[in-house]
Chains A and B, each alone.
Chain A
């Protein structure tokens, strides 16, 4: 994969990368760091990507790992998450975002990948390295949790 091809593929999934990173890190500065790091890593590893058709999912897989690293570093250093309250969409999505954010990561990531970024469940399984059935199960659990959470908010 040459530079031009790589660049165009990265730019094509720019928005999805942002959404993924934001849902994990919750602030733009860390998102930028994570995405940059993921791009560097992907570029270095590009020769090992045998099937270019899965570039998008592969890049997302790297990004998820980078974000997890950042979260671990935060935890280890006792850092407090810097959340941004700006630029959130109007209700009802603010509530939805808050509810998604309250989900445990094991449920949140499949939700973001599947419903925000539009990947198929198979692709989500690949990105998260989970069995397909586990993804379906987590998505079901996440929907239930969101339903319950949002219902409580409404009441």
Chain B
């Protein structure tokens, strides 16, 4: 292997590459202006600081002609918000999401109505999904959940690359109807988090350096700052379990996956397994948080609660 041969292995830079760089340099100011004007237009009362809120975890088991709830309303009552010193302290200002009646449309779709207490135009950080779970346990990939956010908003895409389809953006409608194609799911698992952040937090999130309030039910990797990442075990009500990551910076993601791969050779674990993992001293530090002083942040574990209990909240209400 000759010296410097590495530098010759890359294809020549194509001509249009330089043009695209130049194009980005020409547009960067207008892109930033656009983003700032959107953020500014979102009524984020500074004094009201910001707020975090809510969670909905619920599931409905449907069989052939399932006994479906007439109405399920889940608020943040079951969630205890505990601020940490590592994140922006948020003032709770609940955002309530109401899930309406289930029905089967004329063309065979399953439909439901939903509404959110946020005002149209509100800026929210959003992390949610409402995925049908079919008999074989498969989920509908690419399903965006509720059509709550303006997914064409460039800010949404900024952090929209994580597994939960989370992002931030503006509320485009307060109510809506979601339908699930022509398939009838055996269960529907909904996880839905809405955060109303401070202006500052919103700005950070738009830059990919999200800062969030921590809350029970979230496993926190890192200290809640830009290098943190959250992971959430989900116990689906069809008996399957899933472990998903969400928010936080993208920096830790690969370490997280490497850890998951090495530890389980799969991405699915139960909430209980996740908790056990966290209790294994040093495991996360070496495998996940290489380069971070994890011991310093172990206090984040205070926020872990019985995840099974958390995901069962919705189910209890339905029954």
What is A's interface to B at a CB cutoff of 8 Å?
3, 6-7, 10-11, 14-15, 17-19, 22-23, 28, 31-32, 35-36, 39-41, 43-45, 65, 68-70, 72-73, 76-78, 84, 86-89, 92-94, 96-97, 100, 105-106, 111-112, 115-116, 118, 129-131, 134, 146-147, 150
Contacts and interface: CB of A to CB of B under 8 A. Distances in A.
A154 B142 CA distance: 44
B20 A32 contact: yes
Interface stretch (B41-49, B114-122, B229-237, B247-255): B247-255
Contact of A73 (B21, B158, B161, B254): B161
A34 B28 CA distance: 14
Contacts of B28: 39-40, 43-44
Contacts of B1: 92, 96, 146-147, 150
Given A65-B251, A118-B7, 12 more contacts: A32-B20, A35-B21, A40-B31, A41-B208, A43-B31, A68-B254, A87-B11, A92-B1, A92-B5, A93-B5, A100-B6, A116-B6
Contact of B7 (A10, A116, A147): A116
Contact of A40 (B24, B161, B209, B250): B24
B35 interface: yes
Contacts of A84: 11
Q: Which of A3, A10, A39 has the most CB of B within 10 A?
A: A39
B24 A36 contact: yes
Nearest to B206: A44
A19 B23 CA distance: 19
Given A35-B21, A150-B1, A93 B161 contact: no
Top 8 closest A-B pairs, CB basis?
A: A115-B6, A69-B161, A87-B11, A97-B9, A36-B24, A43-B28, A32-B20, A93-B9
Given A65-B251, A68-B253, A77-B142, A88 B17 contact: no
Contact of A72 (B21, B227, B253): B253
Interface in B217-262: 227, 249-251, 253-254, 258
Interface of B: 1-2, 5-14, 16-18, 20-21, 23-25, 27-29, 31-32, 35, 141-142, 158, 161-163, 206-209, 227, 249-251, 253-254, 258, 290-291
9 contacts: A22-B10, A23-B10, A32-B17, A35-B20, A35-B21, A87-B11, A105-B254, A115-B6, A115-B7
B154 to A, nearest CB: 8
Contact of A36 (B20, B35, B142, B158): B20
Nearest to B32: A44
Given A76-B141, A89-B8, A116-B9, A44 B251 contact: no
Contacts of A17: 21
B20 A65 contact: no
Nearest to B254: A68
B24 A89 contact: no
Nearest to B16: A32
B24 A35 contact: yes
Given A69-B250, A73-B161, A105-B254, A31 B17 contact: yes
Q: Which of B10, B17, B251 has the most CB of A within 10 A?
A: B10
Contacts of A72: 161-163, 253
Nearest to B14: A28
Contacts of B23: 36
Contacts of A28: 11, 14, 16-17
A4 to B, nearest CB: 10
Given A84-B11, A100-B9, A150-B1, A68 B21 contact: no
A15 B161 contact: no
B263 to A, nearest CB: 16
Contacts of B10: 18-19, 22-23, 89, 97, 116
